[in-house]
Chain A
C-alpha cells in the first residue's frame, strides 16, 4: 500500500475543495448541456447532424436524391470469409454463390446501438432493390461473450427485423480480415458484380451514398 509519501505538498484543503467542486460543477454543466443539446435536436438520441441522413428512424424509406455522376471507385477486391461458424436464415453457404450479384456486407453485433440504428436504412434499401437483385449479408462479429449465443443472435435478428442472411463470425476472423487494422462496428461495404468493393463506410450515416452506389451498380453493372 502507500509506503511512500506524496512527492509534493498538498494544496490547502480549502483550495482543493474549491477545485473539486469546480470540476464537479463543470462536469454537471457539460452533462446538462449534452442532454439539452440532444433533446433540442429532436428525439433525445445523440444524432445531431443537420441532415436527417443519420437519425435512427423507426422505419426508413429508400428514396435517395443522390445520383452518382460517375461510377463508384473500385476500392479493392473483396476479401474472403474466414472460418465462419455457419449461416443463419440463408440460402447461401459462401460468398462465391453471390458472384455476379450486387450485395451489401455489414459487420455488426447485436449489442451495438449504432449497428441497430443502421438497420432501418438497410431494410429500406433491401425492400426497394431486392427484386432488382440486391442481397445483404450481415456478418455478426460479437464483441462480448453474451453476443456469441446463437439463440440470442436469432432473437436479436427477429427483434431488429433483420431478414437477410447472417454469417456467424464468432471469433471475428472475417471482421479482422476485412477491416485489417482499422476495426469498427458497424462497417458497411458494397460489393459489385465482379467481386470488387465499391463502397466502404464506417459507422452510421451516408445512407444516400450507400443507396446511390447500389442503384448505380444495379443499373449500370460493374
Chain B
C-alpha cells in the first residue's frame, strides 16, 4: 500500500515537474512571441538577402538581421523567397523591394546621380593622395625646388643629425647587427 502511495506521489510530482516545464516553455513562447526564424532559403535568395537592408531600423543587412524583436526581416525574407521562386531576375527582385521601401532598402548606394559620388570619392581621394605623395617625393628628392631654408630648417637638420649620431653611439651593437646582416646599404 505504502509502495503504491509512493509511486502515486512520485508520479504526481513527476507530472507536476513535467507540467511546470511545459508551462514554462509555453510562457516562454508566449513571452518571446514569434521570433523572426524562418525556413531555409535558396542560395540565390541568400545572396540577394545580403544586397538588401532590413527595414526595421537596425542598420543590418537583411540576410544577417536577427535583431531581437525585429518585425520586418521575417516578412521581407519570405517575400524575397517568394519572388526568387517566381523566377524574376535579380534586378527585378531588387526593384520590387525598392518600390516597396525606396532606395534605402539597397545595401549599397546605386551608382547613379548624386549617389555615384559615394563610389567615386574614395577612388578620387586615393588617386589624388597618390598624386600628392608623388609630387612631394619629387620635390623632396630635389631640394632646390623646395622652399628656401630658414633658421628652423637648419636647426631641424642639425637635430636630425644629432639624433642619428647619438643613436648610433648608443646602440652600436644593433647598428652592427643590421649592417652585418645585410639590411643596411
Q: Are A and B associated in one complex?
A: no
Interface residues of B (CB under 8 A from A): none
